[in-house]
Chains A and B, each alone.
Chain A
Amino acid sequence: MPIEHIETLREGEDQKEKLKVVERSGVEPWGRDASLSVVGEPHTRVEGPEKVTGRARYAYDIRLPGQLYARVLRSPHPHARVRRVDSSAAEALEGVHAVLSMENAPDIRWYENSKLFDSTVRFVGEEVAAVAAENEEVALDALRLIEVEYEPLPFVTDMLAALEPHAPAVHEGGNRVGEPKLYERGDVATGLEEADVIVEGTFYTQTALHNCLEPHGCTASWDGDSLTLYESTQGVFEVREQVAEKLGLREDRVRVVKRYMGGGFGSKQIAWKQTVIAALLSQLTGQPVQLMLDREAENLAAGNRNPTHQRVRLGARSDGTLTAIELEATLGVGAYMVGGEASNVGGPYQRLYRCPNVRTRKTAAYINAGPSVAFRAPGYVEGAWALEQAMDELARRLDVDPVELRRKNYADWDQKKDRPYTSPESLRIAYDKVTEAFGWDGYRRLPADGAKRRGIGFAAHEWGGAGHAPGYAWVKLNSDGTADVVTGTQDIGTGTRTGLTQVAAETLGLPMAQITLHLGDTAQGPYSPVSAGSATQATLGPAVRAAAADAREQLLQAAALLLEVEDPETLDIRDGIIFIVGGREYGRSEVEVREVMGRMAPHMILGQGMRGPNPEDKSVRTFGAQCVEVEVDVETGEVTVLRVAASHDCGRVINPTMVNSQVLGGVTQGIGFALMEERILDDRLGFVLNPNLEHYKVPTVADVPPTTHNAVDRPDPEANPTGAKGIGEPPIIPTAPAIANAIYDATGVRIREAPLTQWRVLRALLEKGKSDTNNSMERERR
């Protein structure tokens, strides 16, 4: 690949010397008005037939000859020393092939400095032992036979309590994770002095559980000193690298395969303990081992969205101009930092609105609970919950339309990086489109009578989703004119296979059906990063386009010989036919791709492509906004979302069907976050009361209202050569605060604690009722 530039630099905490590489494909971006025939079309999912027939093989569905099944014994204590593990009875049980615990496991470091099976457990659900057996039933029987002697230790599960002096220490050295992270521009004190109005509030967001329907897990199988892992993961290369390091294996001897996965949402972007446990059990037994988590383990030990506590202050002039934004945030990260948390709760405060004086400070606390990990738009969902409600309060205080207040404080450049956006107009277009589609005409201020009150709410967001280098793709043109497109990325259900196939088809001039896209296998495809950060289409799309362009160039060279034209650039390809642009008077003017490739056989054409860098002088971001209407039953506290309108910017829309589905999914999870999803942890006992789908409520079909999406639909050619940006995470960000704002519109009650369950709404209504009564009595007394 053409390396344009290479230099040494030092980065990270260890200041390790690295090589900074800039690769460039030389592919010209598709212009805003480029005439494209496949890209932009609403193709159905290319893997649809596999998924509707049950043929799609997920990690959970792997069945290898002689495969064993593993289950994990987990700590019942939030904090304890493990004195002794006696697994002799379990080992003696018929059908049991191996047991692993701290008594016999190799010394592998896992989270921070703890071991794979540590002698101290720090949350309910932490791994204590694992059994491989003939089947799951026997494995479960064996777990019951393992005797463990624990010495319970003091624990703390509330993030604010954890930061108090003398709180039980989750780790030696205290419960604060590193130094607080401070961001500051201008001077907030001056900004607050300049303000005519100050809005203040303390907000809380809950611990939310990903609940991917397919749990984390894998099937491990050894062949000599080579290990294959069939893993439910968002990052096959990340898992390979981490497992190779932990087990001391060469990277080329570890193969990670993920064809299909049942949801990820951020929690599957790292290697977790169970993968290495399965590999060790397989090594011990000499047989393949499948270790999938059960639902309880999935909810205790495989990641969650960290809870936050946010103190927010906004200052504004009487005309609505923001003069100060301040955030003091505390996060509970669980018992360990696992990598991949990425919870940038201050993010929305730093960029979404124009403001010269901004200060955000974030303190993370260890607690005796399962570790947190990124969950769809980590940090931004939590940050927007507070910021967008505070903006709503400010609009109320100033008596202006909340959309107008946002327009008034429009940020058309990236204030954090101090550079222009590639799409400074996108948020404005989103405001226009969503308010028009919804019929937004300012708050309702409906008369407050009857039990059922309706209200409307608005919220905005900005997010990354630019994609990034590196990322590679190959295109192989076969002798029958078909093409294999090979990448090392993964489709986590977002439509990556379809979107990338469209980019390849567009560039090659081949019908979609002539192309097969390969992904999710470290042994077959070149490196691609983890599918996270709404980056996959924007990272791999340009790489696929570059590889296809490389193949196309070679193909046209060969076709030029057959068509007897000197300059291959006078040729074009459409629907598998290469033709002379403008035709010719005499002789042959077109040839099928199949014929060219057939004549070359057995030679093939191999195209290579990679993702070039993002622009250095501009900032690539995504934007959007949503309006919702709710109905609140003030007698029961029940909230019904009646409709949602959304408008999101993802640059060029590669496939409107996939984009709209991402928006529907984000809005659905946003409704869950707003109204029902909450891990309940008993702070006195230290365990989770609802690690299952019975008591942890996720939205059902009956909870999701009609939802429209009017995409901003503006290609962003400065972002990358396809002009497309991410859409996976953005739609979840504004839904919850828009619902909270709508509830305020309906009832006059501001609830800063998520989720807005029936009892929270009822309690808030009751408190408001009391204070309203007191106020009117007060007035009467006067």
Chain B
Amino acid sequence: MHDTTVTLEVNGVEHSLTLDPRRTLLDALRHNLRLTGTKKVCEMGDCGACTVLVDGRAMYACLLLAVDCDGREIKTIEGLVRDGELDPVQQAFIEADALQCGFCTPGQIMSIHGLLNENPRPSEDEVVRAVSGNLCRCGAYRNIVKAGQRASELSSAS
């Protein structure tokens, strides 16, 4: 395949990349940009570990081709820290022990961000729905739901 050029705006920075048109957004992030916080697990949209925000919405990066993301605003787990401070969702995940091995955590956190962007005060059920496409094999689910609700409190307080 002939390589093609694409401009990705990731965490507020524009990157002009030359890549195989088959390359997914996930691989573009992990390989071309070395942003390995976004995880690769199933490569077929089953697990949610690769969730990033595309134009503010939570999406599976393994199901998007990088070339289709030209000009779209992408946010990854690496883009959340502001001035060295964890954001409210990140803080809430630590407080609620919403992680064990941590491999699904970036995806879970981005899904919660996607939810809070649309709905700053979600109910428990809405948090459950928001992360129902994010598998956690360690089984931290109950704490992830708590973290989602806690994040909403922390966000509205700040």
Residues of A near any B CB (own CB < 8 A): 44-45, 47-58, 60-61, 63, 135-137, 210-215, 260-265, 294-295, 492-495, 657-658, 660-661, 664-669, 692-694, 698-702, 704, 706-707
Nearest A residue to B125, CB-CB? A702
| Least CB distance, A745 to chain B, in whole angstroms | 24
Q: Is the CB of A661 within 8 A of B100?
A: yes
Report B81-120 CB contacts with A as 1/0, cut-off 8 Å.
1000010001001110101111111100100000000000
**CA A694 – CA B60 in complex, angstroms?**
15
Q: Is the CB of B137 within 8 A of A698?
A: yes
Q: Is the CB of B47 within 8 A of A54?
A: no
Nearest B residue to A265, CB-CB? B137
Nearest A residue to B110, CB-CB? A54
Return chain B residues, CB-CB under 8 Å to A706: 142
Contact of A135 among B20, B109, B136 (CB under 8 A): B20
Contact of B86 among A53, A61, A262 (CB under 8 A): A53
Can you list 19 A-B pairs with a CB-CB distance of less than 8 A? Answer: A44-B95, A52-B102, A54-B35, A54-B38, A54-B78, A60-B36, A63-B34, A137-B20, A137-B22, A213-B103, A261-B101, A265-B137, A493-B138, A661-B143, A664-B143, A699-B139, A699-B141, A701-B128, A704-B141
Q: Is the CB of B138 within 8 A of A701?
A: no
| Least CB distance, B135 to chain A, in whole angstroms | 6
**CA A698 – CA B104 in complex, angstroms?**
14
Q: Is the CB of A668 within 8 A of B141?
A: yes
Contact of A53 among B77, B128, B132, B143 (CB under 8 A): B77
Q: Is the CB of B97 within 8 A of A214?
A: no
**CA A706 – CA B30 in complex, angstroms?**
36
**CA A262 – CA B101 in complex, angstroms?**
5
**CA A665 – CA B77 in complex, angstroms?**
24
**CA A63 – CA B128 in complex, angstroms?**
35
Kindly state whether residue B23 has any CB partner on chain A within 8 Å.
yes
Return chain B residues, CB-CB under 8 Å to A693: 41-42, 44, 46-47, 135
User: Known contacts A53-B80, A263-B103, A295-B42; can you find 4 more A-B pairs with CB under 8 A?
Assistant: A49-B86, A53-B86, A60-B39, A661-B138
Contact of B102 among A60, A137, A262, A658 (CB under 8 A): A262
Return chain A residues, CB-CB under 8 Å to B134: 701
**CA A61 – CA B33 in complex, angstroms?**
12
| Least CB distance, A270 to chain B, in whole angstroms | 19
Q: Is the CB of A694 within 8 A of B143?
A: no
Q: Is the CB of A667 within 8 A of B139?
A: yes
Kindly state whether residue B49 has any CB partner on chain A within 8 Å.
yes
Kindly state whether residue B37 has any CB partner on chain A within 8 Å.
yes
Q: Is the CB of B78 within 8 A of A53?
A: yes
| Least CB distance, B22 to chain A, in whole angstroms | 6
Return chain B residues, CB-CB under 8 Å to A263: 101, 103, 137-138
| Main SS at interface, chain B | loop
Return chain B residues, CB-CB under 8 Å to A665: 100, 138-140
Q: Is the CB of B43 within 8 A of A52?
A: no
Return chain A residues, CB-CB under 8 Å to B81: 53
B15-69 interface (Cβ within 8 A of A): 20, 22-23, 27, 30-31, 34-44, 46-47, 49
Nearest A residue to B87, CB-CB? A52
Nearest B residue to A141, CB-CB? B1
Q: Is the CB of B20 within 8 A of A213?
A: no
Return chain A residues, CB-CB under 8 Å to B44: 295, 692-694
**CA A702 – CA B109 in complex, angstroms?**
17
Return chain A residues, CB-CB under 8 Å to B41: 213-215, 262, 295, 693
**CA A44 – CA B38 in complex, angstroms?**
23
Contact of B103 among A48, A52, A137, A214 (CB under 8 A): A214
Q: Is the CB of A493 within 8 A of B86?
A: no
Kindly state whether residue B76 has any CB partner on chain A within 8 Å.
yes
Nearest B residue to A665, CB-CB? B139
Contact of B97 among A58, A661, A694, A698 (CB under 8 A): A661
Q: Is the CB of B39 within 8 A of A701?
A: no
Kindly state whether residue B10 has any CB partner on chain A within 8 Å.
no
Kindly state whether residue B144 has any CB partner on chain A within 8 Å.
yes
Interface centre among B41, B99, B145 (most CB of A within 10 A): B41
| Main SS at interface, chain A | loop
**CB within 8 Å for A668 and B99 given contacts A135-B20, A135-B31, A213-B39:** no
Q: Is the CB of A213 within 8 A of B137?
A: yes
Q: Is the CB of B76 within 8 A of A702?
A: no
Q: Is the CB of B94 within 8 A of A49?
A: yes
Report B139-153 CB contacts with A as 1/0, cut-off 8 Å.
111111100000000
Nearest B residue to A663, CB-CB? B139
Kindly state whether residue B74 has any CB partner on chain A within 8 Å.
no
Return chain A residues, CB-CB under 8 Å to B90: 49, 52-53
| Least CB distance, A323 to chain B, in whole angstroms | 39
| Least CB distance, A650 to chain B, in whole angstroms | 16
Return chain B residues, CB-CB under 8 Å to A136: 27
Nearest B residue to A58, CB-CB? B103
**CA A492 – CA B100 in complex, angstroms?**
8
Kindly state whether residue B8 has any CB partner on chain A within 8 Å.
no
Q: Is the CB of B94 within 8 A of A664?
A: no
Q: Is the CB of A700 within 8 A of B139?
A: no
Return chain A residues, CB-CB under 8 Å to B132: 700-702
**CA A665 – CA B76 in complex, angstroms?**
27
Q: Is the CB of A52 within 8 A of B139?
A: no
**CA A455 – CA B102 in complex, angstroms?**
35
Q: Is the CB of B137 within 8 A of A211?
A: yes
| Least CB distance, B124 to chain A, in whole angstroms | 11
**CB within 8 Å for A53 and B37 given contacts A669-B139, A700-B135:** yes
Return chain B residues, CB-CB under 8 Å to A50: 102
Q: Is the CB of B101 within 8 A of A704?
A: no
Q: Is the CB of A295 within 8 A of B43?
A: yes
Return chain A residues, CB-CB under 8 Å to B94: 44-45, 48-49, 52
Return chain A residues, CB-CB under 8 Å to B106: 52, 54
**CA A263 – CA B90 in complex, angstroms?**
20
| Least CB distance, B26 to chain A, in whole angstroms | 11
Contact of A661 among B20, B43, B140 (CB under 8 A): B140
For the complex of A and B, list the 5 residue pairs with the smallest distance between their C-beta atoms, beginning with the closest: A54-B37, A668-B139, A493-B101, A262-B103, A51-B102
| Least CB distance, B5 to chain A, in whole angstroms | 17
Q: Is the CB of B46 within 8 A of A692?
A: yes
Interface centre among B49, B99, B132, B143 (most CB of A within 10 A): B99
Q: Is the CB of A213 within 8 A of B101?
A: yes
**CA A54 – CA B78 in complex, angstroms?**
6
Nearest A residue to B49, CB-CB? A213
Return chain A residues, CB-CB under 8 Å to B128: 701-702
Q: Is the CB of A214 within 8 A of B101?
A: yes
Return chain B residues, CB-CB under 8 Å to A261: 101, 103
Q: Is the CB of B78 within 8 A of A664?
A: no
| Least CB distance, A692 to chain B, in whole angstroms | 7
Nearest B residue to A695, CB-CB? B46
| Least CB distance, B150 to chain A, in whole angstroms | 13
Q: Is the CB of B20 within 8 A of A701?
A: no
Q: Is the CB of B101 within 8 A of A55?
A: no
Return chain A residues, CB-CB under 8 Å to B39: 58, 60, 213-214, 262
Nearest A residue to B36, CB-CB? A61
Nearest A residue to B129, CB-CB? A702
| Least CB distance, A693 to chain B, in whole angstroms | 4
| Least CB distance, B106 to chain A, in whole angstroms | 5
Q: Is the CB of B104 within 8 A of A664?
A: no
Return chain B residues, CB-CB under 8 Å to A704: 139, 141-142
**CA A55 – CA B109 in complex, angstroms?**
14
| Least CB distance, B48 to chain A, in whole angstroms | 9
**CA A634 – CA B71 in complex, angstroms?**
52
Nearest A residue to B41, CB-CB? A213
| Least CB distance, B130 to chain A, in whole angstroms | 9
Return chain B residues, CB-CB under 8 Å to A692: 42, 44, 46
**CB within 8 Å for A493 and B100 given contacts A49-B94, A665-B138, A692-B44:** yes
Return chain A residues, CB-CB under 8 Å to B36: 54, 57-58, 60-61, 63
Nearest B residue to A60, CB-CB? B40
Q: Is the CB of A52 within 8 A of B99?
A: yes
